[in-house]
Amino acid sequence: MRNKIPRVPVREQDPLVRATNFKEVSYGYDSQEAMLEASRCLNCKNPLCVPACPVSVRIPDFIREVEEGNFAKAAEIIAQDSSLPSVCGRVCPQESQCEGACILGIKGEAVAIGKLERFVGDWSRENGVKFTDKAPLNGKKVAIVGSGPAGLACATDLAKIGYDVTIFEVLHEPGGVLQYGIPEFRLPKESVVKTEIENVKALGVKIETNVVVGRTVTIDSLMDDEGFSAVFIGSGAGLPKFMNIPGENLNGVVSANEFLTRNNLMRAYDPSYDTPIYVGKSVAVVGGGNVAMDAARSALRLGAEVTVVYRRTEKELPARVEEVHHAKQEGIVFRMLTNPVEILGDEKGWVRGLKCIRMELGEPDSSGRRSPVPIPDSEFDIESDVVIMSLGTSPNPLIASTTKGLDTNRWNCLVADENGQTSRKGVFAGGDAVTGAATVILAMGAGRKAAAAIDDYLKEI
Amino acid sequence: MYKILKKRDLNPVITLMEVDAPRMAASAKPGQFLIVRAHEKGERIPLTICDFDSKKGTVTIVTQVVGASSRQICYLNEGDSFTDFVGPLGEPSEFVHMTREKLSGMRFLFIAGGLGTAPVYPQVKFLHSMGASVDVIIGAKSSSLLIFEEEMKAVCDNLYICTDDGTAGRKGLVTEVMKELLEADRQQKENQHYKCYDHAVAIGPMIMMKFVTLAAKPFGIPLTVSLNTLMVDGTGMCGACRVTVGGKSRFACVEGPEFDAYQVDFEEAMRRQTMYRSIETEADHNCKLGLH
């Protein structure tokens, strides 16, 4: 029998302390803790965790190596399927993927696969372990649009098998949502994001920043003039949604994207950087996803009192349980079954509060969740001087609108089959640009599938 | 890196720079803008594209010192590089999509205020090259702040200068000159041998564009303005640039920066420009499109 101990807890920064800084919340396992936790894995013959992983990391194999203390070997096993273990170990929703499928989870607690992956990724970085084995260049060029998780995963797989890969990134730092979206306290930029992107570059992948595909260059100019034989579009879902309620353009109303981009990409929390951020005394965050939690917890760290306003109940919150738990520990107030109907302004045009209406849950909607219904005459006001709208994002229409014959659906998502093939020959797509806003790991999975499809396509021509 | 190949002080506070940016130079069109960062910890600052040369691979920008961020740009010298230089951003001017045949029969009136003269220049130059007839009004606080006078003369039919203090051209506001020209136009409406203005374009400080819009409205001439809103990424991601146009919220960075002037809520746009002013003691966002 395997080690029947409870799941090894992970050490975290004290909630009251971390609420005032941007240092990482979780310290992660040390090597002893990792080896102990690894000893809980049953090493199932037919593991359920692997098919539950969108990039099919050989989980029991790497965990076995961790248990024996062969961390470099464990890293090598993960590297075959993922170039971003330190990222994924931190931000994947393991509870609904690998860990959700873990057999131990039926009667007790699943193996802490995410924490183990993170340990292996971090150990590799700290010990300078890199995997740069790749086939010789085959003379074919592939362009990738966007350096987020989808693009990085696609680039990694293609570079390994000999393609000459260039990633075009619109922002000044590569990483996509890892850079502009997810805060430092969940995903450190210098140590984790930069290092793992450097690892991708070590495979020969070039990253050209400050290129707006659709403006600076087009998909057609890349293929016709710059000699790229195929293109993968992993441009994400960057366009913020608003509610279209009165007062939304008052000073003090921002999208979660703006708030997070100022703080993450532009480092507004660090006084040595120039970009300003406006936080006020009290912040209301509208929405209940992971992005809403990130915005709320960032605002808290910048010194505001924060209330999350969500129209359903806690059970329906789309954010990860861990994030909600952390947010509550840190002192964020949640107001459930509450929906804003108007943003209230003062005489100078600045936000002074939210007019909300109480909701109750009605019949299940098309998503299977019970849909919230307003309770008549139940309006009330919440005071706040900043409102952060976190209602989701949709793909940027720029690439589709500047590329002839590239089909989109009515949500502006690119139309692609399960291998990423779009309506244009030689043009593939994956990640949020195709699915709408989802997760880092699903985007990586789509990037890998498209890489295989691009290889098949380019072998034929 | 994006090297500054040429730097020329147009006056003590306004600087012109020619920057090595081949990809942007090849794709830029009149009406579009770009974003720069002067150093690793700098803000992303939107600036108008003042000129571009696809053969030389250069893009020209003009910056006026009004705060910390614009000063950082102006401190850079020939041979230095911008950390980041991204674009072209935004939609090109509408007339870019018109044929030479159509444009050659058209007459335009441009109203440029202060640094707004810079983004007007490539538009006038383009229209001139397409055979259109173009008149330009340039307004500035004082003669020392006038820019692009000679360059503009070379590509327009009539150039009208006015300054607040009367140190160059006529003493007064651009709106007065514009009203006179539009009034003269109206007088000639019946004259078949006279070509009236088909379209007007105003670029300058938000307050100027507001008053130009109010003054032009009674004449019924189509009017386009270019909005210098706050921006972070400039690609549609943040929404800081949202403006109400025709009762709808629009993103100036991807749907603009040019809009039908009569549909723009200028009061809201001006208020939104001040959002970070209380925090920034120095940097003045009005300069962000180089327009104030």
Q: A453 falls in which pLDDT band (50, 70, 90)?
A: very high
Interchain contact B235–A (C-beta under 8 A): yes
Residues 139 through 168 of chain B touching chain A, CB cutoff 8 Å = none
Min distance A125 CA to chain B CA atoms (Å): 24
pLDDT, mean of residues B118-139: 96
Q: Tokens for B172?
A: 């007064």
Measured between beta carbons, the chain B residues lying within 8 angstroms of A278 are: 275-276, 279
Q: B291 falls in which pLDDT band (50, 70, 90)?
A: very low
Q: Is the pLDDT of residue B288 over 50?
A: no
Residues 261 through 290 of chain B touching chain A, CB cutoff 8 Å = 268, 271-272, 274-276, 279-280, 283
- Partner residues linked to B225 by β-bridges: B202, B259
Q: Is the pLDDT of residue A156 over 60?
A: yes
Q: Is the pLDDT of residue B285 over 50?
A: no
Counting every residue written for chain B, the total comes to: 292
Looking at chain B, which runs of residues are DSSP E strands? 2-9, 14-20, 33-37, 45-48, 51-53, 58-64, 81-82, 84-89, 107-113, 133-140, 158-163, 170-171, 199-203, 223-226, 242-245, 248-251, 258-260
Residue B283 lies in a domain: no
Position A171 scores a pLDDT of 97
Packing angle between helix A59-67 and helix A71-79, nearest 10 degrees?
A: 170
Residue B280 lies in a domain: no
CB B42 within 8 Å of CB B86: no
Among residues A148, A144, A163, which one has the least CA distance to residue A203?
A: A163
Position B290 scores a pLDDT of 41
Whether residues B75 and B127 share a domain: the answer is no
How many Å apart are CA A287 and CA B160, to the nearest integer?
Answer: 53
Among residues A384, A387, A349, which one has the least CA distance to residue B269?
A: A349
Whether residues B179 and B116 share a domain: the answer is yes
How many Å apart are CA A16 and CA A19, to the nearest integer?
Answer: 5
* Other CB atoms within 10 A of residue B79 CB: 9
Of A128-142, A156-170, B88-102, B278-292, the poorest mean pLDDT is in B278-292
Residue B215 lies in a domain: yes
Position A417 scores a pLDDT of 95
Name which of A239, A242, A278 is nearest B279 (Cβ-Cβ): A278
Q: Is the pLDDT of residue A368 over 90?
A: no
pLDDT, mean of residues A9-29: 95
Strand, coil or helix: what is B198?
Answer: coil
CA angle A38, A129, A99 (to 5 degrees): 30
Query: In whole angstroms, how far apart are CA A265 and each of A18, A119, A161, A285?
Result: 20, 25, 32, 20
- Mutation target for B interface from A213, A215, A241: give the one with most B CBs within 10 A: A215
What does pTM read for this prediction?
0.93
User: Which one of B166, B193, B225 terminates a domain?
Assistant: B225
How many Å apart are CA A26 and CA A18, to the nearest integer?
Answer: 10
Interchain contact B97–A (C-beta under 8 A): no
Q: Order of strands across the sheet with B223-226?
A: B170-171, B158-163, B133-140, B107-113, B199-203, B223-226, B258-260
Phi-psi category of residue A377: left, alpha or beta, with phi > 0 → left and psi -120 to 50 → alpha: left
Measured between beta carbons, the chain A residues lying within 8 angstroms of B37 are: 172
Q: B279 falls in which pLDDT band (50, 70, 90)?
A: low
Whether residues B149 and B244 share a domain: the answer is no
How many Å apart are CA A288 and CA A293, to the nearest integer?
Answer: 7
Residues 6 or more apart whose CB falls under 8 angstroms from that of B114 comprise B64, B139, B140, B141, B145, B204, B205, B208, B291, B292
User: Which one of B225, B241, B259 terminates a domain?
Assistant: B225
For A373-431, what is each residue's pLDDT tens digit? Answer: 999 999 999 999 999 999 999 999 999 999 999 999 999 999 999 999 999 999 999 99
- Partner residues linked to B35 by β-bridges: B46, B86
Position A2 scores a pLDDT of 75
Which domain covers residue B244, as residue numbers?
Answer: 227-275
Q: DSSP of A346-361, one letter per residue?
A: -TTSBEEEEEEEEEEE
For B71-98, what is each residue's pLDDT tens digit? Answer: 899 999 999 999 999 999 999 999 999 9
Q: A290 falls in which pLDDT band (50, 70, 90)?
A: very high
Name which of B27, B237, B276 is nearest A217 (Cβ-Cβ): B27
Whether residues B178 and B205 share a domain: the answer is yes
Q: Tokens for A28?
A: 């992660």
Whether residues B143 and B45 share a domain: the answer is no
Whether residues B112 and B123 share a domain: the answer is yes
Strand, coil or helix: what is B259?
Answer: strand
Measured between beta carbons, the chain B residues lying within 8 angstroms of A348 are: 271
Interchain contact A180–B (C-beta under 8 A): yes
Measured between beta carbons, the chain B residues lying within 8 angstroms of A265 are: 233
For A212-256, what is each residue's pLDDT tens digit? Answer: 999 999 999 999 999 999 999 999 999 999 999 999 999 999 999
Residue B41 lies in a domain: yes
Packing angle between helix B206-216 and helix B174-187, nearest 10 degrees?
A: 20
Report residue B71 CA to chain centroid gap: 20
Q: Is the pLDDT of residue A8 over 60?
A: yes
Domain count, chain B: 3
Among residues A400, A370, A34, A5, which one has the least CA distance to residue A231?
A: A400
Q: Give me chain B's average pLDDT, please.
A: 91
Residue B128 lies in a domain: yes
CB B7 within 8 Å of CB B19: no
User: Which one of B89, B118, B153 terminates a domain?
Assistant: B89
CB A205 within 8 Å of CB A159: yes
For B131-157, what is each residue's pLDDT tens digit? Answer: 999 999 999 999 989 999 999 999 999
Whether residues B73 and B134 share a domain: the answer is no
Interchain contact A171–B (C-beta under 8 A): yes
Whether residues B215 and B107 share a domain: the answer is yes
Whether residues B159 and B200 share a domain: the answer is yes
Of A330-334, A353-357, A360-364, B242-246, the poorest mean pLDDT is in A360-364
For B52, half-sphere exposure in the C-beta direction (CA atoms, 13 angstrom radius) is 24
Q: Tokens for A328?
A: 């509550």
Q: Tokens for A443?
A: 């985007």
Asked if A172 lies within 8 A of B37 by C-beta distance, the reply is yes
Q: Is the pLDDT of residue A104 over 70?
A: yes
Whether residues B207 and B253 share a domain: the answer is no
Q: DSSP of A398-419, one letter per residue?
A: HHHHTSTT--B-TTSPBP--TT
Sign of the CA dihedral B242, B245, B250, B252?
A: negative
Position B289 scores a pLDDT of 43
Q: Is the pLDDT of residue B282 over 60?
A: no
Of A191-200, A209-218, A363-372, the poorest mean pLDDT is in A363-372
Min distance B236 CA to chain A CA atoms (Å): 6
Q: Tokens for A407?
A: 């089909």
Residue ranges in A355-397 assigned as alpha helix (H) = none
CB B17 within 8 Å of CB B7: yes
Residues 6 or more apart whose CB falls under 8 angstroms from that of A282 comprise A304, A305, A306, A307, A383, A384, A385, A386
Q: Which residues of A128-145 are buried (b: 16+ CB within 10 A; e: fewer)?
A: ebebeebeeeeebbbbbb
Measured between beta carbons, the chain B residues lying within 8 angstroms of A261 are: 232-233, 237-238
Position A89 scores a pLDDT of 96
How many Å apart are CA A205 and CA B174, to the nearest integer?
Answer: 53
Q: A197 falls in which pLDDT band (50, 70, 90)?
A: very high
Query: What is the ipTM for the molecules in this complex?
Result: 0.91
For B192, half-sphere exposure in the C-beta direction (CA atoms, 13 angstrom radius) is 0
Q: Tokens for A69?
A: 């203390």
Q: Over pLDDT 90: what percentage of chain B? A: 83
Residue B32 lies in a domain: yes
Q: B278 falls in which pLDDT band (50, 70, 90)?
A: low
Asked if A261 lies within 8 A of B233 by C-beta distance, the reply is yes
Whether residues B20 and B139 share a domain: the answer is no
Interchain contact A241–B (C-beta under 8 A): no
Q: B195 falls in which pLDDT band (50, 70, 90)?
A: confident
Q: Please tell me which residue, A4 or B170, carries the higher pLDDT value.
A: B170
Name which of A216, A238, A276 is nearest B87 (Cβ-Cβ): A216
Min distance B2 CA to chain A CA atoms (Å): 11
Residue of B nearest to A399 (CA): B235
Name which of A212, A254, A276 is nearest B235 (Cβ-Cβ): A212
CB A220 within 8 Å of CB A399: no
Query: In whole angstroms, how far apart are CA B153 and each of A214, A386, B147, B218?
Result: 34, 48, 11, 29
CB B43 within 8 Å of CB B36: no
Q: Over pLDDT 70: what percentage of chain B? A: 95
Q: DSSP of A263-327, one letter per residue?
A: HTTS-TTSTTS-------SEEEEE--SHHHHHHHHHHHHTT-EEEEE-SS-GGG--S-HHHHHHH
Phi-psi category of residue A247: left, alpha or beta, with phi > 0 → left and psi -120 to 50 → alpha: left
pLDDT, mean of residues A195-219: 96
Residues 6 or more apart whose CB falls under 8 angstroms from that of B102 comprise none
- Find the helix or strand (DSSP H, E) in which A85 lies: helix A85-91
How many Å apart are CA B195 and CA B278, to the nearest integer?
Answer: 48
Position A269 scores a pLDDT of 95
Min distance A102 CA to chain B CA atoms (Å): 37
CATH of the domain at B131: 3.40.50.80
Query: In whole angstroms, how far apart are CA B237 and each of A261, A265, A341, B253?
Result: 9, 12, 24, 9
Strand-pair category, B107-113 with B133-140: parallel
> If you search the block for the tokens 């939210």, which residue do you land on?
A354
Phi-psi category of residue B220: left, alpha or beta, with phi > 0 → left and psi -120 to 50 → alpha: left
Q: Is the pLDDT of residue B287 over 50?
A: no
Count CB pairs under 8 A between chains A and B: 112
pLDDT, mean of residues B209-235: 95
Asked if A398 lies within 8 A of B254 by C-beta distance, the reply is yes
Residue B284 lies in a domain: no
Residue B84 lies in a domain: yes
Position A215 scores a pLDDT of 96
pLDDT, mean of residues A170-186: 96
* Other CB atoms within 10 A of residue A408 CB: 18
Whether residues B244 and B176 share a domain: the answer is no
